[in-house]
Chain A
Amino acid sequence: MSLIRFFSQNYAQVLQLTVEHLWLVGISTLFAMLIGIPLGIVIAHRRAWNKPVLTVANIIQTIPALALFGFLLPVPWLGARADRLAILALTLYALLPIIRNTYAGIRGVDAAVIEAGRGMGMTESQLLYQVELPLAASVILSGVRIAAVISVGLATIAAAIGAGGLGEFIFRGLAMVDDRVILAGAIPAAILALLADFAVGWVERRLRRP
């Protein structure tokens, strides 16, 4: 009961932090797609590069989020604004699932189909845009979905460096030892994660249908 009252009294702030949160997640996922999908395509075609690229992405993934935020804080341009820094860190975390799924999706396209296309005189870029990417699209998008859902959770930690988002409620609630305040951040974050999962999943299903 008191939680509902808290929401109704602070709805403006809940809304504002949710929008901030969405912004952090949306922008970083977009950047990760812009970097990760081309990288995944490259390593799917140049097998020698796949180990180093995936290893680096894996190592980034193992750095604790709080530590990564801390590492990046002294970097000149980045450290000046907390949201820049948060977006960079979230982008780095989102890379691995996107690169890995793009790689797996393209490698998973039936070799006979590729060879038939090449044998009929398709250029490499025609093969990529007309065959490989459309056939790998649903696998790539499921990578994006994983990345987005992870980002929603990770972005709550961005509040620790003052980047805003729903993490503010969580950290404030922890400091105040007030469950209501923690839940005011955690519940919208959980809903966002579910919505992101559902939205990307919907696009994914649309694409899978021939």
Chain B
Amino acid sequence: MYFVPYNFGQNCSLRYAGLMQGGNGAPVIEFRDVSYQVAGNQVLSGLNLQVERGETFILLGRSGSGKTTTLKLVNRLVAPTSGTILVNGQANDQTDVIRLRRGIGYVIQEAGLFPHFTVARNIGLVPKLAGWPGDRIRDKTRELLQLVGLPGEFAERYPHQLSGGQRQRVGVARALAADPQILLMDEPFAALDPLTRDELQREFLLLQQRLNKTVLFVTHDLREALRLGSRIALMEAGKLVTVLTPQEFVKSDDRWAAAYVRAFGSGLESAANRGPA
């Protein structure tokens, strides 16, 4: 499939928003009783969750709560000790792992760009692996640079010549290159300065409104979770505590949710996700 970014109209995103709220249709990602153990350490236990099409599902928790592991279970960078993970209704250990991963965009902190590749080669990596012809890759790269707000002449630069925010934009473009329906984002904005982070969060919302990807997003920042998420899954010590919408989260009397809200101070209600400003 080949997407044309400007074709997604308001109707389209509203329709998806409705679908996402209602939660009808099969979940795009589903965890069934997933546990993960490593070296006698119970990293995750009895995890059950469902991510619906077109939503931004946030995994919120402190370091070591198991949120990154949860993310990596989806594209099988980590294999569960027990339980099943379904991607598009199919157990993800029943499909070819390389094909599975190429169908899922992956964005990590500091972007994880290849330092020896130009921006263009970084973005065109997955299409190249998939065997797209060169001119199609070039067109796609140009289109994606524009989509993430970078000027076209950045194509020939190397990652070390970019700022942190620019690298992160390239990371997002790279993840979108083969037009995956699912995006996994592991604290993508955590290492950025507050202004750049704010800018990228705002653009993420606009982009998401246009593209309607199913996003699984890891963060430890409650403000970010409230702002970007359609639902927030709170994790603590390898267990899923609760799944709430941003509006529910700020009013929740759940022990952990309330502790989070307290830790981040007042004024959060206004930060809760109401879509792009």
Residues of A within 8 A of B175 (CB): 120
Give every chain B residue within 8 A of A120 (Cβ-Cβ). 101-102, 106, 125-126, 129, 174-175
Query: Beta-carbon contacts of A126-153 to B below 8 Å, as 1s and 0s?
Result: 1000110011000000000000000000
Bound state CA distance, A45 and B125, in angstroms?
23
The answer to whether A64 has its CB under 8 Å from any CB of chain B is no
With a cutoff of 8 Å between Cβ atoms, the chain B residues found around residue A186 in the complex are none
Q: Smallest CB-CB separation from B71: which chain A residue?
A: A119
Give the residue of B108, B158, B184 whose beta carbon is less than 8 angstroms from that of A210: B158
**Residue B114 at the A interface, CB < 8 A?**
yes
B112 touching A121, Cβ below 8 Å: no
Q: Is the CB of B77 within 8 A of A118?
A: yes
Chain B positions 66 through 109: 1 when the CB is less than 8 Å from some CB of chain A, otherwise 0: 00000010010100000000000000000000111111001011
Contacting B at CB under 8 A, from A187-210, are 210
B114's partner among A119, A123, A131 (CB-CB below 8 A) is A131
In the assembled complex, the CB of A203 is this many whole angstroms from the nearest CB of chain B, namely 16
Q: How long is the Cα–Cα vector from A112 to B126 in the complex, in angstroms?
A: 17
Residue B276 CB within 8 A of the other chain: no
Is A117 interfacial (CB-CB < 8 Å)?
yes
Q: Can you name the residue of chain A whose Cβ is closest to the Cβ of B171? A: A116
Number of interface residues of A (CB under 8 A): 18
Partner of B112, one of A113, A134, A135: A113
Question: In the complex, are the beta carbons of B126 and A113 less than 8 A apart?
Answer: no
List, in ascending order, chain B residues with CB within 8 A of A110's CB.
112, 115
Residues of B within 8 A of A112 (CB): 108-110, 112
- Inter-chain contacts of A117 with B (CB < 8 A): 112, 114, 125
A113 to B110, CA, bound (A): 10
Q: What is the chain A residue whose CB lies nearest that of B107? A: A116
Q: Which residues of A contact B106 (CB under 8 A)?
A: 116, 119-120
Interface string of B168-190 (1 = CB under 8 A from A): 00000011000000001000000
Interface residues of B, count at CB 8 A: 27
Identify which of A115, A121, A126, A134 gathers the most chain B CB atoms within 10 Å of its CB: A121
B residues within 8 A CB of A121? 98-103, 126, 129
B112 in contact with A115 (CB, 8 Å): yes
Contact A135 B115 (CB under 8 A): yes
Known contacts A112-B108, A126-B129, A210-B158; A119/B116 CB under 8 A: no
Residue A73 lies at the interface, judged by CB distance under 8 Å to chain B: no
CB distance from B59 to the nearest CB of A (A): 16
A122 touches B (CB below 8 Å): yes
User: Which among B99, B108, B109 has the highest number of chain A CB atoms within 10 Å?
Assistant: B108
A210 to B112, CA, bound (A): 16
Residue of A nearest to B174 (CB): A120
Known: A113-B115, A210-B158. A119 touches B77 (CB 8 A): yes
CA distance A113 to B111 in the complex (A): 8
CB within 8 Å for A119 and B115 given contacts A112-B108, A112-B110, A210-B158: no
* A residues lining the B interface (CB < 8 Å): 110, 112-113, 115-123, 126, 130-131, 134-135, 210
Chain B contacts to A: CB under 8 angstroms: 72, 75, 77, 98-103, 106, 108-116, 125-126, 129, 158, 160, 174-175, 184
A-B contact pairs, 25 of them (CB 8 A): A110-B112, A112-B112, A113-B115, A116-B106, A116-B112, A116-B113, A117-B114, A118-B101, A119-B75, A119-B77, A119-B108, A119-B184, A120-B101, A120-B102, A120-B125, A120-B126, A121-B99, A121-B100, A121-B102, A122-B129, A123-B98, A126-B129, A135-B115, A210-B115, A210-B158
Contacts A120-B129, A121-B100 aside, 8 further interface pairs with beta carbons under 8 A come to: A110-B115, A113-B112, A116-B112, A118-B77, A119-B101, A120-B101, A120-B175, A130-B114
| Nearest 7 pairs of A and B residues by beta carbon | A116-B112, A121-B101, A121-B102, A119-B106, A112-B112, A121-B98, A210-B158
